[in-house]
Amino acid sequence: MSVSVRTAAGSGRVVLMATVYSPWLTVPHEPGPATLRRVYQALLTRRYLTSKIVPLVGVFAVTLCSAMVLIVWSIMGGFLVMLLSIGRDMEGDVTIAWPTVGFAHYERLIERLEADPMVAAACPMIETFGIVKLPDTRQPGAQIKGVDERFARVTGFERGVWWRPIDRPEPRDKARLDPRLAEHGFHELFEANFRDALRLRKRDNRTGELVPAAVLGIELSGFSVRRPEGFYTPAGGIGVRQPGGSFEWIPGFILGHSVTITVLPLTEGTQALGLTQRVFPVANEFRTGLFEADKSTVLLELSELQRMLKMDAWERTRPVEIDAAKSPYDVGVDDDGRESAGPRTETVGVEPARVTHVLVKSAPGFGPEQLRERCVEIYRAFAAEFPGEVPDPSAMADSRTITTFEMQRGTFINAVKQETALVLFLLIVISFVAACLILSIFWAMVSEKTRDIGTLRAVGASRLGIAWLWLRYGAAIGLVGGLLGLGAATLIVWNINPIHEWMGRALRITIWDPKVYYFPTIPNKVQPWQAGVVFSGALLFSLFGALIPAVRAARMDPVKALRFE
């Protein structure tokens, strides 16, 4: 299109002569106002965006800001999503707990829970602190949890058992080096290990009997080494320190060893009853994805831990009244075969077994908070069935006892939420730099194009049309910059773990330490709604930057603009 300006003789009126060349139109013509408005807006927007270098700086600024916000939001927001998801996999949706001494009649409570349509499954658990003596003589402290086979129905334990046969490698294991794959020939062994883990028992090699076994968090022993590809391999060998300062090397596969568990039973008055110690073969290892749990958790068979903590069922007795004609003592045989005498007693009842936790999983369609409220009601009816024998419902309804995972970690989770909001606020403030940069660029361009603006105003372009020209230009910068920023951020987030591993190998820089950040891998998912919010923000900031120059251009006097030098 060519545009010429002339003044009509004797009238002082400015006339625009436009000649449009197109494949569909081969003869010159004078376009109408609507056609002219669309042509100049589209033509100038495209021309300014593609022929000027300075506006590309604005595009780069929008790209950088939108990518920065989305990357930080995806990682920090993904941290919370992963934490809550793994927490529900570890402990179900709701936990009913009475720590330390536990509560009785838990099987009846589980029956009531599983009869409710909001509950998919429930299982008992004991949680206590203990010391684990590893095969290399280290003795770390750990959370000892007693569970039974129902544990896998409520949690993600079955998916978390590590040493089991798999058909597909980890996403980054392109060379298929994971020893769990079929081509390595250990499928039968790992299948047996998998069954052992689910029942928390292992077959004794000497007697052939199933005996109680331990399942360790995969980071606890240090016998399993994580590879950059995402899978674990047994350590080549583990050194056991000897008194003389030397090492005795033992095989590095933990499943061939045993561990010694030491716990401290307590009475209802929290008085110590003496340490209890047992040796358990290692049936398997599990991985939750939460480094803290994988580093400090041991699973044992529920009934075995109940016996160790003296929380199993036992008979209540009382002394028998003394009959003068009979001896007040019973004569028995001790462990060494010698006769021993003790006060005569009689059984007056059975004290039921106890657990410290009941874990509850919600049925589809119900959230953790809904389920918690329902569990409070169910426990109230359960306590009425056993008055005086189980903890009071008002105490159990307290936030520390019938809780969701988010409530249990409330202080930490709220701190992360506040930190995420603060960081996003700072990034949004920084993003004003892009808006200010666009404002300054457009202000200079409005000054440079004053005569063009005057020409358009003189031929009938409205103030709103001139303003929309610059706002449209700002929207184009926001659109291009936002799309480029979202694309760059998505590629970076999707590949954040390989990038981090490359930085560790090539630059010796470790930013994401699982000991600090809980997870062995960086969250690498971009939520569509977050991308939509960031993209909308890029458009709004760009329009905001173009607004003041657009108003300035629209308010120009066409006569003064045409005389501008």
- Which token pair is 181? 């794959």
Give 347's pLDDT tier (boundaries 50, 70, 90).
low
Highest average pLDDT, of 170-174, 238-242, 363-367, comes from 363-367
Strand partners, 142: 130
The yes-or-no verdict on residue 22 having pLDDT over 50 is no
Q: Work out the average pLDDT over 347-354.
A: 76
Q: State pLDDT tens for residues 531-560.
A: 999 999 889 888 888 888 888 888 877 666
The yes-or-no verdict on residue 173 having pLDDT over 80 is yes
Q: Work out the average pLDDT over 280-304.
A: 92
On whether the CB atoms of residues 200 and 215 are closer than 8 A, the answer is yes
Type of residue at 94: V
The yes-or-no verdict on residue 101 having pLDDT over 70 is yes
Question: Considering only CA atoms, which of 419, 381, 380 is closest in space to residue 517?
Answer: 419
* Residue 280 CB partners (closer than 8 Å, separation 6+): 212, 213, 214, 258, 259, 260, 261, 300
Q: State pLDDT tens for residues 252-267.
A: 889 989 999 999 887 6
Predicted confidence at residue 114, as pLDDT, reads: 94
- Which token pair is 21? 């060349």
Helices (H), 237-320: 291-296, 302-308
Q: Choose between 369 and 555: higher pLDDT.
A: 369
Q: Work out the average pLDDT over 491-501.
A: 88
* Annotated domain spans of the chain: 25-77+414-562, 99-313+352-400, 319-349
Percent of the residues in the chain that have a pLDDT greater than 90, as a whole number: 33
CA distance 195 to 197: 5
Strand partners, 94: 360, 404
CA distance 129 to 553: 73
Q: Output the DSSP codes for 203-256.
A: E-TTT--EEE-EEEETTTSS-EEE-TTS-EEE-S-EEEE-TTS-EEEE-S-GGG
Q: State pLDDT tens for residues 389-409.
A: 888 888 776 667 898 888 887
Q: Mapping DSSP to helix (H, G, I), strand (E, B) and coil, where does residue 361 land?
A: strand
Measured over all CA atoms, what is the biggest interatomic distance in the chain, rounded to whole angstroms? 147
Predicted confidence at residue 1, as pLDDT, reads: 45
CA distance 33 to 24: 20
Question: Considering only CA atoms, which of 277, 265, 289 is closest in space to residue 354?
Answer: 265
On whether the CB atoms of residues 434 and 545 are closer than 8 A, the answer is yes
The DSSP 8-state label assigned to residue 183 in this structure reads G
Place of tokens 């049309």: 465
Q: Work out the average pLDDT over 138-154.
A: 94
Lowest mean pLDDT among 32-46, 455-469, 485-499: 32-46
Predicted confidence at residue 25, as pLDDT, reads: 35
The yes-or-no verdict on residue 213 having pLDDT over 90 is yes
* Residue 273 CB partners (closer than 8 Å, separation 6+): 264, 265, 266, 267, 310
The yes-or-no verdict on residue 15 having pLDDT over 90 is no
Give 3's pLDDT tier (boundaries 50, 70, 90).
very low
Q: State pLDDT tens for residues 111-128.
A: 999 999 999 999 999 999
Give 338's pLDDT tier (boundaries 50, 70, 90).
low
Lowest mean pLDDT among 52-66, 233-247, 332-346, 460-474: 332-346
Q: Work out the average pLDDT over 241-246.
A: 74
Q: Choose between 383 and 39: higher pLDDT.
A: 383
Predicted confidence at residue 34, as pLDDT, reads: 56
Give 316's pLDDT tier (boundaries 50, 70, 90).
low
Q: Choose between 318 and 294: higher pLDDT.
A: 294
The yes-or-no verdict on residue 290 having pLDDT over 50 is yes
Q: Work out the average pLDDT over 164-192.
A: 89
Predicted confidence at residue 10, as pLDDT, reads: 44
Q: Work out the average pLDDT over 32-38.
A: 56
Predicted confidence at residue 218, as pLDDT, reads: 93
Q: State pLDDT tens for residues 462-474.
A: 788 778 878 888 8
Predicted confidence at residue 21, as pLDDT, reads: 41
- Which token pair is 302? 């529920």
Give the phi and the psi of residue 284 in degrees, each rounded to 5: -175, 180
Q: What is the chain's mean pLDDT, rounded?
A: 81
Predicted confidence at residue 320, as pLDDT, reads: 63
Give the phi and the psi of residue 407 in degrees, each rounded to 5: -70, -40
Burial of 429 (0-12, 13-18, 19+ CB in 10 A): exposed
DSSP strand E in 371-474: where? 402-404
CA distance 207 to 186: 24
Question: Considering only CA atoms, which of 77, 14, 57, 116 is closest in space to residue 451?
Answer: 14
Give the phi and the psi of residue 443 in degrees, each rounded to 5: -60, -45
